[in-house]
Each structure stands twice: as structure tokens, then as C-alpha cells.
Amino acid sequence: MTSPTDKKQSKGKVVESKPVKVKIICAIIELFANLPDFIGRLFAWLFAQSSKLFKTRGYRTSLTNLEICLPELELKQRKVLAIKSLKHTGRLFFEASKIWRKCQGERYIDNVFGDEAVKACLAQGKGVLFTGSHIGNWEVALYYLGSNYKFHCMYRPPRQQEMDEVISGGRCQNSTAMVRGDSRGVMHLIKILKAGEVAAVLSDQEPGRGAGVFVPFCGKNALTMTLVQKIQQKSGAELFEVAAIKNAEGLYDIHLKPVKIVQDIDEFEYATEVNKHLEQTIRRYPEQYQWSYKRFKTTEDGGPNPYR
């Protein structure tokens, strides 16, 4: 039984100490890190097919999201896209293991687009705030940013207490510094951005109800964080979107795209514009988006969420 001291609250969720479970996860990560690439491709295929066969939560969630976001597709097309997305997710487990344990992020990077604009901002003494979504390979994107800039990434601590060290250790192999998504972390990001450094906040994560607004995302209102705007307003940083997108050669192209939004507009307008930019990337590479993420879990009217 877990003692009261082994639990703590984090944004309304209980964070528990589960050392045995974490040891198993770490063993799997270590195993994946040492396996050849063809095993990773096989694992991804098995992961996707078993998700469909057993109608897992990830598969069901993917179909629900695709029905909401891409209603123009027929059911058969949505099922095919769900499998492609889950297969891509399966590869992410394998690739992240090699990055975390073997520091092999560089081997996955092919082309880089838009870095000149980022360097120009930094040369002027301006900080650069990156945002993005659950698309491509977020770990490859973080590895690139941490290898090329003095980089700070905001994150939400995992529910398993011991996994915090595993994840942070895997990502902090270069100049990357992980920053908790609390008030102290926000102040830290504002400070380093004012100093002309680089930070990132993944903005398609669902915030707490009091920390976001409901605006359109892929055709349906979704609770969207206002944190990106607040950080940009208080730091004066330039906003960019970052995505590591898999190309035809099986490697990732890093896309660094300026996001031009007036900082002081209404928070609903700002959040809407951020979502529009993310949606453009998602619609361009729908098979690489993590449709298994419950993006619409919190409903505007307080009713039941659409995931069954």
C-alpha cells in the first residue's frame, strides 16, 4: 500500500510513487534503445494492428477525434488514418528510447527549415518562444533545440513520481533545461526569454479550465491554454512553431515557422490564431498527429466528454 507521504497533488491529479512500475518501464526503454531499427518498425506495426484488433482506448479515441476533426472522410478512410497514426506513435516509443538512452537524436534529423529567422531574432537580443502540437516527433524537436540553443522546455510532471527523473534525464543531455508548468516555472521562462534565450510550451495540451478559453480547433471548440500569450506579452519574445516531421527517407525535417500574432489582442482571438497555425500543420501531415490524445475531454457546457 502506498503511504500518504508517497502521494502528492499536481494540478488536481495524484502523483504516486510506483518504483516497481517505473523499473519495468525503464527496462523496456533500455531494451528498445539497444534493438536494431527493423525491430522498431515491426513493433510499430504490431502496436497499431493490436490496437485495432483489441479496440484499445487509443484506437477508439483516435476514431472519435477523426470523426470530430475530419468529418469529410468516410469511416473506412478514418480507420486507415487511425492505424497510420498509431503506427507512427509506436515508432515514437522506439525512437525516444534511443534518444534518451543513447543520445542519438542527431541521427534522426535530416533537413532544418527556418533556423535563419530564429538566429536573426536572437542576434537582436530577442527571446524566442516555441510552441507546437502532438505531431511528428516532439523528442527529436526538443533534441534539436537543446543541441543548438540554450533551451528551456516547460513540461507537466508525470503521474509516476520516479518517471520525472527518467524523462528529465533523457531530455537534458545537452543544454536543455526542463521547467515545471507551475507559477515558478512560468516566471522562469519569462526571465530567460527577456534575457534573449529560447523556450518551448506545447500548446495543444489541455490546460485546467481556469487557465484556458474555448476556441475552435479542427472544427470544434476545445479548451486552449492562454499561457503562451501571457508569456509572450510579459517577455516580448518572438513566437515560432516547431515540428519535427518525418520525411520520405524515414528521417525528420525540423520546421521552425514564425507565428505572427498581435500580442495584445483579446485572449480568445489569440488562442484562435495559435490553433489555426497548429491546424494547418496537422492537416498537412494528419498521419503523424497523435489522434489518440483526448483533446476534447473537457467540454464547454460541462457535459460528458465525447470519449467512450
Domain residue spans in the chain?
18-288
Q: Is the pLDDT of residue 264 over 60?
A: yes
Confidence tier at 25 by pLDDT (50, 70, 90): confident
Confidence tier at 6 by pLDDT (50, 70, 90): very low
* Percent of the chain residues topping a pLDDT of 70: 94
Q: Is the pLDDT of residue 75 over 60?
A: yes
Half-sphere exposure of 217 (CA within 13 A, CB side): 29
The arithmetic mean of pLDDT across residues 169-178, rounded, is 80
Q: Is the pLDDT of residue 172 over 80?
A: no
Give the chain's mean pLDDT: 91
pTM, two decimals, is: 0.91
* Percent of the chain residues topping a pLDDT of 90: 78
Measured from the Cβ of residue 14, the count of other Cβ atoms closer than 10 Å reads: 10
Lowest mean pLDDT among 68-72, 87-91, 170-174, 297-301: 170-174
